[in-house]
Amino acid sequence: MPRVLIFGSTGALGKAISEKFKSKNYEITYAVRKPISDSNHFILPITDQSEKDLPKQLQGNEFDAIIFAQGANTNDSGINYQDEKLQELFDANVSFILQNIRTLMKFNLIKKRGKIVIISSLWELSTRQEKMSYTVTKAAVGGLVRSLAVDLGKAKGILVNGILPGVVETPMSRGLLSPAQINNIENQTPGNVLVQPTDVANSIYLLACEENTAISGQSVLVDYGFSISRVL
C-alpha cells in the first residue's frame, strides 16, 4: 500500500486531499498542530536531533508522496505592512516547508523517485491590491519548488511540483474577500465558478501518484482559466 504524508490536513483543502488519497487506497499519515480524530497523526513540530526523537508514525517509514497543504494568509500592502507579520507569513509559507523537507531527507523518509507537492497560490505569479506579504511569500514558494526539484532530483530522483489554486471556495476565502470581490472573480472566470477543494485535490493527486514519471519543477495553475481571462 502506498504511503502519503500530509502537512495541514484540518482545513477544507486538507480534508479534500485526504479523501482523494483515501479513495486511491493510500495509507495516510497526518502532520498537524492539534490532535485530530484519525489515530495515524503526530503533532508538529518535528525534531531533527536524532531518529529516536522522531514521532513513531515516521520511524522506519518511507513515504511515496509528501503533500504540503498548510500555510497562512493576510491582506496588507507595501504601505501598511508590518515587519513581524511578513516574517510570520514567510515562516509559515516557506521556512516551514524547507525545514521539514530537510528533516525528511536527513532520515531517508522519502522514497527514491518519490513525489512532493506543495500548495502555493495563483498569487505566486500575479497579485492584487492589498496582497503584498502573501504575494512575496508565495513567489518564494515558486523558487523553492524549482530549487528542490533540482537538488532532490539529483539526490534521489524525487519529483517536486507546486499547485497554484485560484480562489478556492473555502471559509478562509470568504473571510478575506468581500461578496463583491467573490462575484467579480466568478464573473471573470470561464464557467463563472470558484475553484472547489476537490479540484485542487484531484490536481495534487495527478502530480503525486505513480503515473507521474517526469513532471518536476513546475508550478501548475488550477483556476478554471481565471489567470488568463481576468481584467486587471
Q: Are 32 and 41 in contact (CB under 8 A)?
A: yes
Is 138 in the active site?
Answer: yes
Query: Out of 121, 133, 203, 216, which one is annotated catalytic?
Result: 121
pLDDT in tens, 135-169: 999 999 999 999 999 999 999 999 999 999 998 98
Our answer to whether residue 134 is catalytic in this structure is yes
Choose from 45-59, 98-112, 184-198 the range with maximum mean pLDDT.
Answer: 98-112
pTM for the whole structure: 0.94
pLDDT band at 231 (very low <50, low <70, confident <90, very high): low
Q: How large is the average pLDDT for residues 12-18?
A: 91
Query: What is the domain partition of the chain in residue ranges?
Result: 3-226
51 band by pLDDT with thresholds 50, 70 and 90: confident
C-alpha cell at 191: 464557467
- Identify each DSSP E strand in the chain by its residue range: 3-7, 27-32, 41-43, 63-68, 110-119, 159-165, 219-222
Which grid cell is 12? 477544507
Fold adopted by 3-226: Rossmann fold (3.40.50)
Listed in sequence order, the residues at least 6 apart from 219 whose beta carbon sits closer than 8 Å to its beta carbon are 120, 124, 125, 142, 145, 161, 162, 163, 164
Q: Active site residue: 26, 111, 115, 134, which one? A: 134
Is residue 201 within 8 A of residue 26, CB to CB? The reply is no
Q: Is 156 a catalytic residue?
A: no
* Residue from 18, 131, 138, 205 carrying the catalytic annotation: 138
* CA dihedral sign of residues 123, 182, 196, 174: positive
CA 224 to CA 118: how far, in whole Å? 19
* pLDDT over 80 (residue 2): yes
